[in-house]
Structure 1
Amino acid sequence: METHDGTPAAEAAKRRDLERRVAALRRAAAVQPDPFLGELGYALLELGGLLAGDPDRHDESIGILGEAADAYRDLLALHGDVHLPGLAVALHRQALSLGVVGRREEARAAADAAVAALHRAIGKGVVEDGRGELADALVNLGNQLAETGRHHEALDRITEAVALRRSLVDPATGAGSGALASSLGDLGIKLGEMGRQPEAVDVLRQAIGTYRDAAERAPGARTTGDTAEHAAVAFALARTLTGLGRTQEAGPYFAEATALRAEVEAREPRATAFVDRLLNLYGYGRGRGGAGGGDMPGARDESGAGTRTEPRDESVPEPPGEARTEPSVEPSTDTRTEPSTEPRSAAPADPLPDIDRLNSRALALAEVGRIDLAVATLDQAVALGRAAAAADGGGARAAVALARTLHNLGLVRAWAGRRAQALEAVDEAVHLGRRLLVVAPDVVRPLLAEAADSLGSRLAVLGRHRDAVAPATESVALYRQLAHTDPLGYEGELARALNNLGIRLTDSDRHAESLAVTEQAVDIHRRLHRREPEKQRDGLVHALSNLALRLARIERADEVAQPTAEAVRLLGPVERMHPSNDTAALAESLAWLAWYLRKRGHRDTARDAARTAEELRRLTAKPGR
């Protein structure tokens, strides 16, 4: 017998009993916390886990597990570290549920807190051996980091989980090898998603070998979930080999995935839908005869990433026309691809001059609109950089050259409209720069500052505005350090980074903070303008128009007219504006400000702003501008 919603009757009865028990414990804990809070926390964990299995009740599960985490925090305050494991379990399960419903940033924060709680519990000796729980939490954190664009941090966490799982395998009995295989599968799939297919093949083969060994050692202990994961990893390996052109090697793994799926269907038919969802993550397609192999090879592109259409960039802010001083060069794309004229021989003893030369050539090609050739040239430079960094044994010179090249590759891919690939390259550059900052701070700090600013831009273009705030903030902090020691060299860059941080905060609805950083940008631009009036005029005009927009956002209407009027007065004849500046964005900002001021009775300033906006639009439309 089943209930109306398809839940087995026994499970539904268990859920109702738990709900009644939780309600009673809430009432008891409210009156006398100490005796009942522990029981409440445990009951909430059990109820939250049960609800998480129902797709229609994920949001409810998230709330229940959050309540469990709060209960364990209260217990920590009462009784100390002994309740850290309970807190970690609550946070871990909540992160999983948050990830399922797409609340990725919240999921990442919860997963990070779960890992921190487990580290602390292990360090304090509260748990006898928490390595297994920590490995699970690290994999979860890695997955959430990857979903928020922090792929290399994700790789670090999953690699750490694999090391823990290896340490837990019993060499005599093989106990723990199934969990190791699962972690190896996660690591291999992540490497493939990052474009590191040869490394992915090696790790995925280790995972398959470990799955097979675990099945041979204890066939009766293998669960349907283990079999499903084995199938997914076999299929991921087959797809990765196919992408590398090694189709003959891929064939047996396609067959293995198909056989494993059939095994799940035979053992537990209700689990087949789950297996298919898991396989669909890696491009699985059912053949006409019902087998899984027929359509598999054509399901995904060669990178191993799912085919999808990039979203159009429709993130025009309200009010529109933010004057963005981030890099805005958008060369027209030349779709012709020419063969590289660079030598294909082995890299010389010192490849760094070649890497620098390829970077310079690629940027020059991009400036004249030959984007595809610029990307190909930078791909070659990245390959040289990776080889040099590997040969350098951890030295900084080659790694810095690689980070710089990856940043340039991200910019050029963005100009080519390859937004997801651009994010991947810039994210790797930032991750590498963070590691190198301690080793070579003077060289790395300006590179990391620029790359972090670019990472914020790349995330924002993909609509991930809240995720973009953190790298933009990091960029500002780095530029502050640089400007403190070299004001002439870096104050302008600091002002630009502050402007971009203001945009990120505005797009995240953090308007008061956005106003504060925009005011800082204006102050710096005023100093720069006093020093070099002609050269710095356009930067101050953009900053003032942005300040007016920020004030309008928080309805400080009487203060909007002053920076708008100052921007128009400073600009003067629009022909003086440098063609490389974003005149279209400035025109849009001034036009919106004119509308806003007219509605609030500032007619003279509104008229001047509208006239200037129209002149800028005509200027933008001129050929060659």
Structure 2
Amino acid sequence: MIRRRLAEKDPSHFIPYLAYALYMLAWCLSKCGKHSDAISPSTEALEMRRKLAEADPAAYESALSGSLHSHAFYLSRSPTTLGESIKNGQEAVEIRRRLAHQDPQSFDAGLADSLFNLACNLGSCSRYSEAVLIAKECVDIHRRLAEGDQAAHEASLADSLHNYALYLSKSPITLAESIEPGREAVEIRRRLAREDPQGFDADLAWSLFNLACNLDDCSRHSEAVPIAKECVDICRRLAKGNPAAHEASLASSLHRYAFHLSKSPTTLAESIEPSQEAVEIRRRLAREDPQSFDADLAWSLFNLAYGLDSCSRHSEAVPIAKECVDIHRRLAEGDQAAHEASLASTLHIYAIYLSKSPSTLAESIMPGQEAVEIQRRLAREDPQSFDAGLADSLFNLA
């Protein structure tokens, strides 16, 4: 309020100070988790700094890039304004590239920060091919910075490698390229976690999780297994220390570990125990918060039932599959478009497991028929996506 009054009396002298005060107000609001409240003062500061930079670029262009960078961040915190963040982020990058070209020592770190955030926002908007190029530039800068001062910049290099691998993995064309940066992120975070487990164990677990997924997607299942096991071990330690913060991550890591084990006949039987543990944790979480965890629980139940059936434990697979069907039915009642295909898949599998025993064969007809009815409807709307599934369900029902 004081600086606003002063700026009204003497704009040429006090506008820069008012812009800074608004910039800091937005920053403080954001730090308190009030990102949407930060947008208004940030917008005002941005407009002031843009005018100042137009009049005197040398004096104010750096401050303008700071406002653009922060404003993009505040916008990105809400799905309703995420798309708007891209333009501001791109402008911040353009200015900081120019400044870093003239003075890399002063501006490379700021440019890397803006590139990192822009890539994140592009990724969140599913613009992965654009995110890849931005993330690669970010990696290159962080690598140079880490060569000059490893202690100060190695963690940021690991962060940028982790995200770069993530964006590469989103396309079948670049999936295989994701392995190398994913491995490097893991190697750096392993080293950092040995020195400071409290500071880096969670980040290491996340990089291990992604690397295992990408190896599996490249059909390198045997390589994925030990990486996933290391992830489980870290998540288990974290969950022992703070169950509320880390139990969901432990369930996710167990789920994926079981999935990787199930890909080979030699390790299929080993997949049952971690899969059962994932189900137990997700059941507990879903009881407390069904909206957040029902879908994850259904996915773990589906995988566990599949693993049990593949181990010829058909009678054990049946009640697990039935529980999965019940959850998908509830989810489909709430959002048919999002969950009906999954309901059809679980009904199809449930019918198969029932048909494996003479004592439950007759019970398989009803879920088999329901799976066919849903898949027929889906195939009429989108034959390319659902004709094969419909054919499978018709075959099993017949």
TM tier, smaller: 0.5 to 0.7
Alpha-carbon separation, structure 2, partners of 1:602 and 1:439: 58
In the other structure, the counterpart of 2:135 is: 378
More helix by share: 2
Question: Secondary structure in 2 aligned to 1:507?
Answer: coil
Distance 1:585 1:442, change over 3 A: farther
Alignment of 1:102-117 (within 5 A): none
Specify the code of the residue in structure 1 equivalent to 2:320: P
Alignment of 1:586-605 (within 5 A): 587-588=344-345, 590-600=347-357, 601-604=360-363
Q: Show CA shifts across 1:439-491 (max 9, x none).
A: 23223211110111111111112211111101010111111111111211111
Alpha-carbon separation, structure 2, partners of 1:442 and 1:621: 53
Alpha-carbon separation, structure 1, partners of 2:343 and 2:163: 26
Alpha-carbon separation, structure 1, partners of 2:329 and 2:321: 13
Are the equivalent residues in 2 in contact too, given 1:359–1:405 (CA < 8 A)?
yes
Alpha-carbon separation, structure 2, partners of 1:614 and 1:454: 37
More deviation, 490-499/440-449: 440-449
Alpha-carbon separation, structure 2, partners of 1:477 and 1:620: 43
Are the equivalent residues in 1 in contact too, given 2:301–2:320 (CA < 8 A)?
yes
Are the equivalent residues in 1 in contact too, given 2:314–2:356 (CA < 8 A)?
no
In the other structure, the counterpart of 2:115 is: 358
Aligned with residue 367 of structure 2, among 585, 597, 608: 608
Specify the code of the residue in structure 2 equivalent to 1:343: R
Are the equivalent residues in 2 in contact too, given 1:352–1:398 (CA < 8 A)?
no
In the other structure, the counterpart of 2:290 is: 533
Distance 1:585 1:566, change over 3 A: closer
Are the equivalent residues in 2 in contact too, given 1:479–1:493 (CA < 8 A)?
yes
Aligned with residue 97 of structure 2, among 339, 343, 357: 343
Q: Unaligned 5+ residue runs, structure 2?
A: 1-89, 383-398
Aligned with residue 162 of structure 2, among 403, 407, 423: 407
In the other structure, the counterpart of 1:208 is: none
Alignment: residue pair count: 283
In the other structure, the counterpart of 2:281 is: 524
Alignment of 1:42-441 (within 5 A): 341=94, 343-344=97-98, 345=100, 346-347=103-104, 349=106, 352=109, 354-392=111-149, 394-395=150-151, 397-417=152-172, 418-441=174-197
Are the equivalent residues in 2 in contact too, given 1:355–1:401 (CA < 8 A)?
no
Q: Show CA shifts across 1:403-459 (max 9, x none).
A: 111111111111132122111110111111111112232232111101111111111
Q: Unaligned 5+ residue runs, structure 1?
A: 1-337
| CA RMSD, 1 decimal | 3.1
In the other structure, the counterpart of 1:511 is: 268
Are the equivalent residues in 1 in contact too, given 2:350–2:364 (CA < 8 A)?
no
Question: Secondary structure in 2 aligned to 1:463?
Answer: coil
Alpha-carbon separation, structure 2, partners of 1:470 and 1:613: 39
Distance 1:420 1:402, change over 3 A: same
In the other structure, the counterpart of 2:299 is: 542
Alpha-carbon separation, structure 1, partners of 2:343 and 2:363: 19
Larger Rg: 1
Q: Show CA shifts across 1:177-208 (max 9, x none).
A: xxxxxxxxxxxxxxxxxxxxxxxxxxxxxxxx
In the other structure, the counterpart of 2:256 is: 500
Q: Show CA shifts across 1:134-175 (max 9, x none).
A: xxxxxxxxxxxxxxxxxxxxxxxxxxxxxxxxxxxxxxxxxx
User: Percent identity at matched positions?
Assistant: 29
Are the equivalent residues in 2 in contact too, given 1:362–1:374 (CA < 8 A)?
yes
Distance 1:350 1:578, change over 3 A: farther
Alpha-carbon separation, structure 1, partners of 2:223 and 2:378: 35
Are the equivalent residues in 2 in contact too, given 1:413–1:419 (CA < 8 A)?
yes
Distance 1:375 1:585, change over 3 A: farther
Question: Secondary structure in 2 aligned to 1:343?
Answer: helix
Are the equivalent residues in 2 in contact too, given 1:565–1:609 (CA < 8 A)?
no
Alpha-carbon deviation of 1:622? Answer: 7.5
In the other structure, the counterpart of 1:268 is: none
Question: Secondary structure in 1 aligned to 2:141?
Answer: helix
Alpha-carbon deviation of 1:592? Answer: 3.2
Structure 1 length-normalised TM: 0.42
Question: Secondary structure in 1 aligned to 2:156?
Answer: helix
Question: Secondary structure in 1 aligned to 2:194?
Answer: coil
Alpha-carbon separation, structure 2, partners of 1:578 and 1:482: 36
Distance 1:506 1:620, change over 3 A: farther
Alpha-carbon separation, structure 1, partners of 2:229 and 2:193: 17
Distance 1:599 1:401, change over 3 A: same
Alpha-carbon separation, structure 2, partners of 1:621 and 1:427: 44
Q: Show CA shifts across 1:364-419 (max 9, x none).
A: 21333432221110011101211221222x31x52111111111111111113212
Aligned with residue 211 of structure 2, among 442, 452, 455: 455
Aligned with residue 551 of structure 1, among 304, 308, 311: 308
Distance 1:442 1:579, change over 3 A: farther
Structure 2 length-normalised TM: 0.64
